[in-house]
Copies of this chain bind each other. A is one copy, B any other.
Amino acid sequence: MSNAQPLTELSADQLAAFRQEQQAAYETLKSSGLKLDLTRGKPSAQQLDLSNGLLQLPTSYVDAAGTDTRNYGGLQGIAQLREIFAELLWVEPEQVVAGGNSSLTMMRDTLYYLMLSGGVDSPRPWAQEEKVRFICPVPGYDRHHTLLESLGIEMLTVPMQADGPDADAVAALVADDPTIKGIWIVPTYSNPAGAVCSQEVAAKLASMPTAAPDFKIFWDNAYAFHHLTQDEAKSADVLSLASAAGHPNRPIMFASTSKITFAGAGVGFLAASVEQVKWYLGHLGKGSIGPDKINQLRHAEFFGDADGVRKHMRGHRDIIAPKFAEVQRILRQRLGGKGVATWTDPIGGYFVSLDVIPGTASRVVQLAKDAGIALTPAGASYPYGNDPDDTNIRLAPTFPVAEEVTAAMEAVATCVLLAAAEKLAG
Contact = CB atoms under 8 A, between A and B. Distances in A.
Interface of A: 40, 42-43, 45, 48, 51-52, 55-56, 58, 61, 68-74, 100-102, 104-105, 107-109, 112, 115-117, 127, 143, 146-147, 150-151, 258, 262-265, 283, 286-295
A100 to B, nearest CB: 5
Contact of A292 (B55, B100, B107, B109): B100
Contact of A72 (B105, B146, B263): B263
Given A61-B55, A150-B286, A70 B263 contact: yes
Contact of A287 (B108, B263, B289): B108
A207 B383 CA distance: 44
Given A48-B71, A72-B258, A292-B292, 9 more contacts: A45-B68, A51-B70, A100-B101, A104-B289, A116-B151, A127-B127, A264-B289, A265-B292, A265-B293
Contacts of A262: 70-71, 294
Select the residue from A68, A101, A108, A117 with max chain B CB neighbours within 10 A. Answer: A101
A262 B72 CA distance: 8
Contact of A56 (B56, B109, B258, B290): B56
B287 A264 contact: no
A292 B71 contact: no
B72 A40 contact: yes
A71 to B, nearest CB: 5
Nearest to A117: B150
A108 to B, nearest CB: 3
Nearest to A72: B263
Contact of A42 (B40, B43, B72, B258): B72
Contacts of A56: 56
A48 B70 contact: yes
B55 A43 contact: no
Copies in the complex: 2
A308 to B, nearest CB: 19
A105 B58 contact: no
Nearest to A104: B287
A146 B286 contact: yes
Contacts of A45: 68, 71
Select the residue from A70, A117, A151, A293 with max chain B CB neighbours within 10 A. Answer: A70
Contacts of A146: 286
9 contacts: A48-B61, A55-B61, A101-B291, A107-B287, A109-B287, A115-B116, A117-B150, A147-B287, A292-B292
Contacts of A289: 102, 104, 143, 263-264
A45 to B, nearest CB: 6
Contact of A291 (B72, B112, B151, B264): B264
Contacts of A288: 102, 104-105, 108
Given A100-B100, A295-B295, A71 B263 contact: yes
Nearest to A115: B116
Contacts of A69: 264-265
A414 to B, nearest CB: 29
